[in-house]
């Protein structure tokens, strides 16, 4: 396999690795609004153009963006499929957490009911000490 290529079965790892960096996430957010040139993508960051290019290469290797060629421009475009794969993977665990939270809610309601029942019980009157 050529250097820099990601094994097909490890695409999800590459997606999460690419998303781990806030600059790359910001680049993807920018591209969600439409195609942009490298200089457009570099503008909001206080980093060198070669550093932006390195970030773009990571995003390309993960399959998150494609870079075209129009004359001297190299516009970048978001490729959403790997993001969908990552969202689908995370979504598998959503049901697990929802069930856990539902059980926690049931438990808290049970505690609240017990507390209310204790509060509603008549309290034995305390005798005042004789004077």
Q: What is the pLDDT of residues 63-95, one digit of tens each?
A: 999 988 877 778 999 999 999 999 999 998 888
pLDDT of res. 68: 83
d(CA 3, CA 29): 28
Q: What is the pLDDT of residues 26-45, one digit of tens each?
A: 999 999 999 999 889 999 99
Q: 59: burial class by Cβ within 10 Å (0-12, 13-18, 19+)?
A: buried
Q: What is the pLDDT of residues 42-61, one digit of tens each?
A: 999 998 888 999 999 999 99
Q: Which domains does the chain have, with CATH numbers?
A: 8-80 (1.10.10.10)
């Amino acid at each position: 396999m050529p250097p820099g290529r990601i094994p097909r079965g490890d695409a999800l790892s590459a997606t999460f690795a690419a998303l781990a960096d806030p600059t790359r996430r910001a680049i993807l957010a920018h591209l969600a609004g439409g195609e942009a040139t490298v200089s457009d993508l570099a503008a909001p960051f206080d980093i060198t153009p070669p550093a932006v290019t390195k970030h773009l290469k990571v995003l390309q290797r993960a399959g998150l963006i494609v870079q075209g060629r129009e004359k001297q421009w190299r516009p970048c475009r978001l490729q959403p499929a790997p993001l969908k794969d990552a969202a689908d993977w995370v979504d598998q665990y959503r049901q697990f957490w929802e069930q856990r939270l539902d059980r926690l809610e049931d438990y808290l309601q049970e505690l609240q009911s017990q507390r209310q029942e204790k509060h509603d019980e008549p309290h034995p009157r305390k005798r005042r000490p004789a004077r």
